């Protein structure tokens, strides 16, 4: 994956459960949260809320973590440590 993507704008789209990112002129990246979240191992099933809150409140951060190896897993693990 190209690590030099320029994320201009991003938003969570609840009807499709995806984050849609404008990456430049006439270029859009769609990240399907269900697919990305299915790769994460949760200590508790309700821990998935961490990822949905991230996608809704900070969609660009969600996408950057989703594109990084173990990014979403590391995020959930860190949230569990904090809580």
Neighbours of 82 (CB within 10 A): 6
Q: Is residue 3, in this structure, part of any structural domain at all? A: no
As a whole number of Å, the CA-based R_g of the chain is 13
Q: Is residue 36, in this structure, part of any structural domain at all? A: yes
Q: Is residue 59, in this structure, part of any structural domain at all? A: yes
Per-residue confidence (pLDDT) for residue 4, from 0 to 100:
60
Q: Is residue 4, in this structure, part of any structural domain at all? A: no
At 15-46, the pLDDT tens digits run 999 999 988 878 899 999 999 999 999 999 99
- Between CA 40 and CA 31 the distance in angstroms is 15
What are 45's two structure tokens? 């099933």
Domain extent at residue 41: 9-82
Tell me the whole-structure pTM to 2 decimals. Answer: 0.87
Q: Is residue 26, in this structure, part of any structural domain at all? A: yes
Q: Which of residues 24 and 52 earns the better pLDDT score?
A: 52
Q: Is residue 53, in this structure, part of any structural domain at all? A: yes
Q: Which of residues 8 and 2 earns the better pLDDT score?
A: 8
**Domain tally for the chain?**
1
């Amino acid at each position: 994956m190209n690590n030099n993507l320029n994320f201009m704008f991003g938003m969570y789209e609840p009807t499709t459960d995806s984050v849609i990112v404008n990456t430049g002129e006439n270029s859009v990246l769609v990240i399907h949260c269900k697919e990305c979240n299915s790769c994460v191992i949760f200590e508790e099933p309700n821990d998935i809320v961490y990822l949905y809150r991230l996608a809704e409140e900070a969609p660009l951060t969600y996408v950057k973590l989703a594109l990084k190896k173990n990014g979403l897993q590391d995020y959930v693990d860190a949230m569990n440590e904090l809580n």
